[in-house]
Amino acid sequence: MARPLPPLPQTVKPVTVATPAPCPYQIDGPDGSRLPLHGGLPTLADHIGRHFVEPAARAALVSAHPSLAEIDVFACAAAAKRFMSRREHDPSFDAVALAYARVLQIAIVEAAALGWSVSVDHLSSVHLDSSGLLVVIGGAQVRTAFIPGVDRVASALEQGHQRHNERNSRLAREAKWSGDERYYYRVLRPAMRAIRNFPTSGVHGDVQYGALKRVLPAVADLGFAGWRSIRAQRGHAPMMPPLP
């Protein structure tokens, strides 16, 4: 009786793992190298949505960079809401991402000029510009960018324990503020206070926002006049109209 033939060897097809496409949106790093923004489009869209398009950040950024108002996402609440739901598939995504890259590039250059940059280690660095925008670079890419505390200022004021006449007095005083004064007291100073509260121990790599405390002036030492002088020296026009 003939022996059965041995089974044919099975051919194992190699498994192809899709490699995420590199992010086409990039800026120049402090050393001149090209840095992709957050690695890929979904992550980039998520950062833009959380840190640039949410209402408080959007209002602050449009005041600091008026040209953003030319993009519907920054000029219209309905368009911003549309962007938050569609993210990288939004029809304005390319315009928003390019504007995001421009704002971050300005921040990196300005932080270097002001000396408000810190190298945490050989891979990570933290930067702050005169508008309070914090940019973190790590692993040869931009990791995050945001204005610290900007989303908590309004709620902190509302939750503060003020008598009715004290609140009315504050509102009357703030109604006379210029755009720059409103930005300084409602965005810049809270951002610097938030940085002062960031820990400098027990954190690693590109989350060491508190490292900026080594180079930033104390909140009390950077008065409104001094800050406005810095803004003027960097070529920023007075902020008009004031933040709502």
pLDDT tens sequence across 103-132: 999 999 999 999 999 998 888 999 999 999
Q: How confident is the model at residue 6 (pLDDT cuts 50, 70, 90)?
A: low
Residue 46 has pLDDT above 50, yes or no: yes
Residue 182 has pLDDT above 80, yes or no: yes
Residue 223 has pLDDT above 70, yes or no: yes
Give the pLDDT mean for 128-141: 95
Which residues are CB-contacts of 73 (< 8 A; sequence separation ≥ 6)?
Answer: 53, 79, 80, 82, 83, 90, 92, 95, 96
Picking from 99-103, 114-118, 209-213, which range would have the lowest pLDDT averaged per residue? Answer: 209-213
Residue 18 has pLDDT above 60, yes or no: no
CA-nearest of 220, 227, 222 to 178 is 227
CA-nearest of 194, 211, 112 to 156 is 194
What is the model's pTM? 0.84
Contact 151, 157 (CB under 8 A): no
Residue 244 has pLDDT above 50, yes or no: no
